[in-house]
A and B are shown apart, each in its own frame.
Chain A
């Protein structure tokens, strides 16, 4: 048992190291030779894979605020055990996004400019501020996990006292932020393909990030259970599955109603790449998971929930990539496929994220274990009491 684990780890480790080496080399090219040498971006396609990946990173981090609002605002304490993995996921997601944004910026040395040079009309300005504020809030929300490891009780107490306003602020920032990624594209009505362009883009982005974020938790929990034998209870997971089902259905209804209202249904019959991509996105990301989740036997089964989460996540990836790349390809009159360097740098960030997540999970009490050591169990009880006391 231990041996297979060891071998598995080595394989992934080797792969990770290879990706890191390539990624670092590509970063060298990007910073010392410029964006032209390292990416396939051009005047016609100024945004590519990296912006798409930023969407993903932020979207997948959505569980952070969804769970925080469920547990700390609506006081549904059943989901208490997911708070930590959700916040850790969100935190790592945001760190990756910030890293990649800095790599993507043409003048990364000026990345701090939005702090003092304000243009409140810019969606990009709003996004920058939301990233900064929400990252700060996520670190405040996650800090107790680190502090308790070192038995620093005093700062934890202070953080507990301010936890509710912090959570509420976090929810507001992420709501704005998630939807404003959609708002970014409101300004390109002539360029983004009609199947994706909509006045409701910010709403669509917001709803879809909820199902994706929660699926991410199901996905992580399953993998984590396989690696460390620490996972979440089935009833929590199927509860999440139910919320995913609702979010997917609402999202679908909103999109379809909007399309009908805008008279865009004929676009569904035009045989062209965009239409196929749109169907792929819907089938993978909405129809299959909605079917699976509406069946109780699948929804209450760990493995099937995991499979469903993969569908939801893939559909989400499709959707964001469609908005960021496919939907704009036609109007830019050139095709875009990322370069080796763009892919390597993106893959490197994925590896950093996964390593970061598994390292923190390994050394800190993230997935609360039912039969964990006495000390942490005691602390967990204490945590709950304090939360009840508020």
Chain B
């Protein structure tokens, strides 16, 4: 069993060169979508972007949640958390209900709207490469080490170390460690994360719990409801029958 892999993106080290963006396009054979990569946005042909916020940069991509909301809401199980940690997608299973897009707390999945047989598109953390023991294409291409690929436990330890070592540089929070239950992509930055366009105020709890709590009540509702309705049927029928018998008796007595 291989260890869980993940990515640590440190915005303070990012120079906005776009090598990760280009590497991702090349690795996933995606079409060119914008001549200026800084102005591009996530789409069916763009799995990751580098955004410019003043003189800061922020990478956006799938956060590869530990308990992926997309996987939990998909009616056919087209999403799966791989043993290496990536959230991967099987278009063959997909029916195209787009609940994953609606439910994703980070609003990441994109759709091939112009296709007549559309697929959901998003970063799959270079699943094929990682399975072969290679790092993700974006981290390999990164010239400054802003995007680092590695074992999750090591990345978490390193992120914590960086926050501790340079408290003046960093805003003291590891984004992605606990957001929506946490995931395999961690982000460090010098400013609060909503200033870089990361979704603020996400619950620490994994979202699948919200529907899970209701879903697990279903067997009880069915069993209790069935018994209740069945007995009500029997009771009211019996009541009607007794009422009718009484009425008939009354009628008979009146006849005599």
Contacts and interface: CB of A to CB of B under 8 A. Distances in A.
B250 interface: no
Contacts of B111: 35, 43, 46, 106
B76 interface: yes
A119 B98 contact: no
A69 B229 contact: yes
A26 to B, nearest CB: 15
Q: How large is the interface on A (under 10, 10 to 19, 20 to 34, 35 or more residues)?
A: 35 or more
A119 B102 contact: no
Contacts of B199: 190
A141 B208 CA distance: 36
A316 to B, nearest CB: 22
A119 B105 CA distance: 20
B210 A187 contact: yes
Given A105-B95, A176-B222, A119 B229 contact: no
A122 B96 CA distance: 14
Contact of A126 (B76, B201, B215): B215
A168 B230 contact: yes
Contacts, number: 164
A105 B157 CA distance: 43
A187 B103 CA distance: 6
B225 interface: yes
B113 interface: yes
A106 B96 contact: yes
Contacts of A37: 114
Contact of A46 (B75, B95, B102): B102
Interface string B230-256: 101100110110000000000000000
Contacts of B75: 113-114, 119, 122, 124-125, 127-128
B212 interface: yes
Interface stretch (A72-80, A87-95, A357-365): A72-80
Given A75-B240, A171-B229, A176-B221, A121 B212 contact: yes
A168 B229 CA distance: 7
Contacts of A127: 75
Contacts of B240: 75, 388
18 contacts: A32-B116, A46-B98, A46-B101, A73-B233, A74-B232, A106-B97, A106-B117, A107-B96, A113-B75, A118-B77, A119-B71, A121-B208, A121-B212, A122-B99, A126-B218, A168-B230, A171-B229, A187-B69
Interface of B: 42-43, 69, 71-77, 93-99, 101-103, 105, 107, 109-111, 113-118, 199, 201-203, 207-208, 210-212, 214-215, 218, 221-222, 225-226, 229-230, 232-233, 236-237, 239-240
